[in-house]
Structure 1
Amino acid sequence: MISVAIKKQLGGFALDASFEAPAGVTAIFGASGSGKTTVVNAVAGLLTPAAGRISVGDVVLFDHEKRRDLPPQQRRIGYVFQDARLFPHMSVLRNLRFGGTYDEARIIEVLGLGDLLERMPAGLSGGEQQRVALGRALMCNPQLLLMDEPLAALDGARKAEILPYFERLRDDVKIPILYVSHDMSEVARLATTLVVMDAGKVVIQGPLGQVLSQPQAVPLLGVRAAGAVIETKVAGRLLDDGLTELLFSGGRLMMPGILGVLGQSVRIRIPAQDVILATEKPKGMSALNVLPVTITQISQGRGPGVAVGLQAGKDHLLARVTRRSAQRMELAVGQNIFAIIKATAVGPEDIGR
């Protein structure tokens, strides 16, 4: 468990952030200037808060009242920045070993670095460089890993290349991770816990799926970022159609592409703006995914939009419709309706493991 409760005045910017991060990947999400990097720099010991306390498990890194402030080199923290910051005159292997040699063979295997060890940083792609930087951070045997916008400098293709390695890291390497990002697709694929910041404060926090499915979170996350995450399993592949059948507690989903082998877990982010609601089961339409759902919450935004929380089996979805549509359909909490999701509405960046 990571516990953070800190305050710091930086010119006209006031940081006053408190949250707890359990095991797994805790994403700190927010717009530029919200205080995300300031928080992780304080955890790393690169910035000293004016007040508060930071701890990882039983280890206290900072306590203003007790005048405890461990220097960065004593905190056992691995830090991966937006740019890889590799030593250009060192091979990949020497860059890795600069961090240490802890569990070297396993880290090289998990991150797929075996074929890169003798190469120089200049000959690596952006995604490969970030994998090396991540390996270097892990080989110092950290008790905590900090990742500050590690994919922000990469294009879509390079992100797609590296995200599966990050997912494997999340599942195979049992250390807590604080992951800073302003990209909800990354967050939805990787995180287990979500902390949302705005203007130096934590405005909402909790398990990823729980936070994302709350209608009240829409104005905090942004209209385009809002959407639920569900865990599914591959039930079959329709090779003639190029589709994969996924099962979850609320029914069946058909998604394009080959998404895994039978029984494999697949995480799907379904943007709220791509969910259509119907009071009766539709007929004669192209959309393949029609799910029976129950309305759990309705939240009116400041503009013309209405966020509608939905329960599908044991899972939760989120839809965003206009106020006019909500009134015309007479939507109400407890009402049984149907959620319609186009298979093509969920992009490759919203599908993970």
Structure 2
Amino acid sequence: MRSDQTHIAAARMSVSDKYRPVYADDLPTLRHTLERALSGTSDVVTEYENKLAQWFDARHATAVSSGGAALSVAIYAAGVGPGDDVLLTPSCPLCTIYPIIAAGARPIFVDTRAHGFGADPASIRARITPRTRALIDIPMWGYPSEVDELRTLTQELQIKLILDLAHSHGTTLHGRPLSQFGDLSCYSTHERKPLATGEGGFILTDDDVLARRCRDYSRFGNLNGTDFGLNYKLAALPAALGGSRLDSLAEQIDKRSANAAYFLGKLDHNKVQEKKIIAGGVPNYYFLNLELHFADNRAFIDYLDEAGIPSDIKRYGCKALYEFPALAQYRNECPNAEALLGNMTTLPVHPDITLAELDYMADRINHYGGL
């Protein structure tokens, strides 16, 4: 292997990590929807929820206005209130922790496993408190975590398991969608997600009581003057778009997987490899995760950035959440999580990536000569 900066400068590409598809049915779907009721109580939204429940093989789906709204609703439905504790890993986005704080609850960080972003059972047992009501597990970038084991553990501990699956549309474990292992599973449909409606989200559950709490709370408590709630409804236009685009989701995931496999077949650097995929797990390849073994991993990420190859680690300044000033008061050392974020990068493998771009990214990595 060698460093070849002259070659990079001469052949530099700019690889986009943004995937914003326009499907043939988008405009006809929106035109047709404009002839119908457009609020969050429209039949269009109910139809979308039914499609979501069917696609993910869930008993109930509740559509809401964003992935953050999905978490806020799920936290409420799980019985979390002021003064309660919620466990979560610090390797997740800021989007996950803010709804906990907004609910008046205290976030308590638990460590990840050494090999991946799933919450570590030993850390959960060590840091659970009498006020703990829920654990939020966050499989990052579409790579599955051991949610089956977490479901067993949370049932034993008598707390709810909330899954933040904002990255994980179509990710499976033992042939089942990850959402089937959570008491409540939350998704985002932001425009960069595999299922994109601009903004939006939804909650899946097989529990009738939790489903009713989600629906009531996200719809102003049905304005009955007895039940409390807020307005987190999803409007009809994004719901219609989501229902139409859901038909293409499986094909999109297949293309992402094919792109990842093609790239990995070209990758040839002894200090770069795909992050471990747990037994029985199948990622959706929202982003390809690469495990790095350099003395200075950040120098490698900067090298790729200069070559026009983006990384979420650099884009979002990914680090343990308690390293951010706004969350320093919740600091709880999690060495596995810190090491995971310090020893990885992401690569785009979305359906718009070309074979030439995949070849280019592999070539740039293979030519890296840093220590």
**TM bracket, shorter-chain basis:** under 0.3
Work out which of the two has the higher radius of gyration on C-alpha atoms and give 1 or 2: 1
The alignment's TM-score, normalised by the length of structure 1, stands at 0.27
Which is strand-richer, 1 or 2?
1
